Amino acid sequence: MSRIFEFDTADWETAFSGDQRGMALSEIEQGKVLYFPKLGFRIAENEKAFLSPATVGKSKNVSFDAVSGDLHGTGPAVADVEALRSLMARFASQASGLVAKLLPEYGAAAVQGRTSFRPVEAAGRASSWRKDDTRLHVDAFPSSPVQGRRLLRVFSNVNPEGRPRCWRLGEAFEPMAKRFLSSIPAPLPGSGPLLQFFGLTKSRRSAYDHYMLQLHDKMKADLAYQAEADQAPFDFPPSTTWMVFTDQASHAVMSGQFLLEQTFYLPVEAMRDPATSPLKILERLTGRVLV
Ligand code: SIN
Ligand code: FE
């Protein structure tokens, strides 16, 4: 089974054929990575100085909100904050254009989230096993519940030294969930509102968010699983772009430096086939309504 589906488009403004759009929709909803090996994000001459770990502070990522224009996480060494903001805004706009052209069925239902720039080497970056993205996982974040919405992410490797972003891609969502679900206790009644009340989550942690966080943790904590799960390495060279539902596709980043990433949130109802979503799969496997 291939985990990657390629497009040979070389330009962010390209229109896609109906066939390409149909394939993109069914492949990405099956959990595949849509890969654009000829589509690079161009860094201008005056932006090259940002390709340095000094661009970030302690947070290790620069984070940009395309809606408000807010930029966070820059280090004290960044002299021209406006130039960095404009780089982030350009990537945000090209990534959202790509999603709009390739997956027009999602339309306005795909809500643009944060844009991030990751200039720190991914190998050896983690401070704990839970934050260790070199371990296979599906994305779920403790303080940012999604209540079932999908996490769609667009990535571009902007490494200037010819170094790839080296990933591993794991097994499909359902067998992974089946393996771990029986070891996950149901959420404590009332825990969602309580976490929100004490400011530990930005919105209500639903039962869905509870199960996703637990799956994320169980996968990362299980070293036998990390070694033995069905998986394949995949290296994304510099000047390539890819897009994937990271809440569904098991992934890990083994190494690489200088990555741009754009997140979108998509309601399950906007999908062509909601049955392939982690929400519907987990509801079927647990026999419960989870949001
Ligand atoms: C991740 O989502 O686990 C990290 C992806 C990356 O930084 O390449
Ligand atoms: Fe991840």
pLDDT of residue 1: 65
State whether residue 75 is helix, strand or coil: coil
pLDDT of residue 118: 98
pLDDT of residue 243: 98
pLDDT of residue 127: 81
**Ligand with an atom nearest the CA of residue 261:** 1
Question: Which of 135, 159, 168, 253 has most ligand 1 atoms within 8 Å of CB, for mutation?
Answer: 253
Q: Whose CA is nearest to atom 7 of ligand 1?
A: 253
Residue 130 and residue 140: Cα distance in Å, rounded?
11
Residue 118 and residue 120: Cα distance in Å, rounded?
6
Q: Ligand 2: distance of its center to the CA of 139 in Å?
A: 5
Ligand 1 in reach of 25 Cβ (< 6 A): no
Strands 62-65 and 71-72 come out as antiparallel
Question: Which of 59, 157, 259 has most ligand 1 atoms within 8 Å of CB, for mutation?
Answer: 259
Q: Whose CA is nearest to atom 3 of ligand 1?
A: 133
Query: H or E stretch including 214?
Result: helix 207-221
Residue in the block written with tokens 């942690």: 205
Q: What is the pLDDT of residues 197-208, one digit of tens each?
A: 989 999 999 999
Ligand 1 in reach of 246 Cβ (< 6 A): yes
Q: What is the pLDDT of residues 66-100, one digit of tens each?
A: 999 999 999 999 999 999 999 999 999 999 999 99
Smallest CA-to-CA distance from 168 within 252, 94, 103 is with: 252
Residue 289 and residue 255: Cα distance in Å, rounded?
38
Question: Which of 132, 248, 257, 261 has most ligand 1 atoms within 8 Å of CB, for mutation?
Answer: 261
For residue 54, give the DSSP letter: G
**Ligand with an atom nearest the CA of residue 216:** 2
Q: May I ask the CATH architecture of the domain 4-286?
A: Sandwich (2.60)
pLDDT of residue 135: 98
Task: Say how many CA atoms lie within 13 Å of 182 toward its Cβ.
Answer: 3
Ligand 1 in reach of 118 Cβ (< 6 A): yes
The low-confidence residues of the chain, meaning pLDDT below 50, are: none
State whether residue 165 is helix, strand or coil: strand
**Ligand with an atom nearest the CA of residue 133:** 1
pLDDT of residue 164: 98
Ligand 1 in reach of 122 Cβ (< 6 A): yes
Task: Say how many CA atoms lie within 13 Å of 213 toward its Cβ.
Answer: 18
Residue 261: CB atoms within 10 A of its CB come to: 18
List b or e across 151-164, with b for residues whose CB sees 16 or more CB atoms inside 10 angstroms: bbbbbbbbbeeebb
> Residue 251 CA: which ligand 1 atom is closest?
3
Looking at the chain, the whole-number percentage of residues with pLDDT higher than 70 is 100
